[in-house]
Amino acid sequence: LGMACPRPGCRQKVLGSTLAAMVRMFLGLLGVLAFKPYDPCSTVTCGNLVCPGGFTSTTTPGHCCPYCENPNIKLERQILSQPSIHEKPPSSDAPSSCAGVRCFALVCKKNQYP
């Protein structure tokens, strides 16, 4: 440890404090390794889900609770094939990466503006 110890027993104190610091670092590292990420669903209580005919309860990774899904309904095709009366053209300032997006008119409360 290369430190000059002018008093008797000094070297033992330096070694002892160094060892104590190493033990604290090791225990701190163990704490970091044992860290478990927070589960946002851990405090969510899901209700009793009853799906109507044709729908089944579906569990999806990243979702806390199951939901009803009907595999025979393809919403993507129906939604994308029909234009909406609320649809507006993208802004002329939109970046080129927005090609193909569908924009809708903003709806504001009375006396509010976008």
Selected residue with higher pLDDT from 67 and 5 = 67
46: its two tokens: 């899901």
Q: What digits encode the pLDDT tens for the residues 26-72?
A: 777 666 556 667 788 888 999 999 999 889 999 988 889 999 999 88
pTM across the whole model: 0.35
Q: Cα–chain-centroid distance for residue 33?
A: 20
Instruction: Please tell me the distance from the alpha carbon of residue 34 to that of residue 42, in angstroms, as a whole number.
Output: 18
> Is the Cβ–Cβ distance between 54 and 72 less than 8 Å?
yes
